[in-house]
């Protein structure tokens, strides 16, 4: 599947130490899974979680869902063993927390190669500190193997001494810098998690904000958030209809110099956006047909 248009509307963290969660994940209609060895797993459970995550990846039981493993950070005692095991298992990607520099990316890519990670296993870098926001472009541009930036908004808020407020005003500068970096370097970028799983309205508002800002999808902490993220980050029926209309108008007006659709002047940039909308729509339909 084309990396650029692979749907990543909903990417769900699942603790790899929880056997029931791993089993349930096989039937959750999320676009991607992050089998977590880090925050969600107690220190004494980490070796068993590592084995369980790698077994899940090898099982082939997760259909078309993008399957990734989040390892422990480079500053922890588990990092090297996690990285070696994940590289050997060959998931779609290895997710690494607190990636703060281009050098860190290069070190991770070199380690993945050293441990024999197959070519299809990409690197997803979590950016979650003020320093990472200020160096996001260097991080994103450091390697072709890095394909996705993942916002770590909880850590970012903590390090900024910021509050979690509706609208996320304290985080917008960081979110914007990371988005600029992703788009400047042709990478995918996923929004951070929404913490209050009971607050559906707040969650949907934040999904809409993320989509409006330009994120490709959202990372999630509860299966109940999947449906809302899928709906919000997919092109709406109206958007699909408009995109089809714009392409038709462009085709019909070829060579006439000025093309309009619904009273709006259409230029090349509108055509490119319309094509992107339809490609994403088709990719989502293909994926949902396989769930």
Query: pLDDT tens digit string along 239-286?
Result: 888 888 888 888 888 767 678 888 888 888 888 888 888 888 888 888
H or E, element range at 93: strand 93-96
DSSP state of 18: -
First to last CA, the chain: 15
Tokens of 48: 């068993």
Domain boundaries, the chain: 3-233, 237-290
CA distance 136 to 189: 11
H or E, element range at 261: strand 259-261
Query: pLDDT tens digit string along 209-251?
Result: 999 999 999 999 999 999 999 999 998 888 888 888 888 888 8
Tokens of 35: 């089998």
CA distance 52 to 281: 34
CA distance 127 to 100: 7
* Listed residue (19, 65, 64) closest to 41, CA to CA: 19
DSSP state of 73: P
pTM of the full predicted structure? 0.93
Domain 3-233 architecture: Alpha-Beta Barrel (3.20)
Tokens of 85: 């095991």
% of residues, the chain, pLDDT over 70: 97
Query: pLDDT tens digit string along 37-69?
Result: 999 999 999 999 999 999 999 999 999 999 999
pLDDT score recorded for residue 263: 85
Please state, in angstroms and as integers, the Cα–Cα distance from residue 240 to each residue in 3, 181, 202, 236, 268, following that order.
21, 27, 26, 6, 17
Radius of gyration, CA atoms only, the chain: 20
* Listed residue (95, 134, 106, 124) closest to 14, CA to CA: 95
H or E, element range at 14: strand 10-15
Please state, in angstroms and as integers, the Cα–Cα distance from residue 267 to each residue in 68, 231, 280, following that order.
39, 28, 20
pLDDT score recorded for residue 1: 47
Buried b (16+ CB within 10 A) or exposed e, 264-283: eebeeebbeebeebbebbeb
């Amino acid at each position: 599947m084309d990396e650029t248009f692979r749907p990543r509307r909903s990417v769900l963290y699942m603790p790899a130490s929880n056997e029931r969660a791993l089993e349930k994940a096989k039937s959750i209609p999320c676009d991607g899974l992050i089998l977590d060895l880090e925050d969600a797993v107690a220190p004494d459970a980490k070796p068993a979680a590592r084995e369980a995550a790698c077994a899940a990846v090898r099982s082939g039981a997760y259909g078309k869902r993008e399957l990734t493993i989040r390892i422990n950070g480079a500053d922890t005692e588990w990092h090297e063993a996690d990285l070696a095991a994940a590289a050997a298992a060959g998931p779609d990607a290895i997710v690494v927390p607190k990636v703060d520099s281009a050098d860190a990316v290069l070190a991770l890519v070199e380690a993945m190669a050293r441990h024999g990670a197959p070519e299809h296993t990409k690197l997803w870098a979590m950016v979650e500190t003020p320093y990472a926001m200020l160096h996001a472009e260097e991080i994103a541009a450091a390697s072709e193997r890095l394909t996705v930036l993942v916002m770590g908004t909880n850590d970012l808020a903590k390090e900024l001494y910021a509050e979690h407020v509706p609208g996320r005003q304290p985080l917008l500068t960081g979110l914007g810098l990371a988005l600029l970096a992703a788009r400047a370097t042709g990478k995918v970028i996923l929004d951070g998690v929404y913490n209050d799983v009971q607050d559906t309205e707040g969650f949907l508002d934040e999904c809409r904000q993320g989509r409006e800002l330009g994120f490709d999808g959202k990372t999630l902490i509860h299966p109940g958030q999947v449906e809302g993220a899928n709906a919000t980050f997919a092109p709406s029926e109206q958007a699909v209809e408009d995109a089809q209309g714009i392409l038709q108008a462009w085709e019909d007006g070829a060579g006439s110099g000025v093309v309009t659709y619904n009273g709006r002047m259409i230029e090349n940039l509108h055509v490119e956006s319309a094509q992107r909308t339809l490609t994403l729509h088709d990719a989502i339909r293909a994926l949902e047909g396989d769930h």
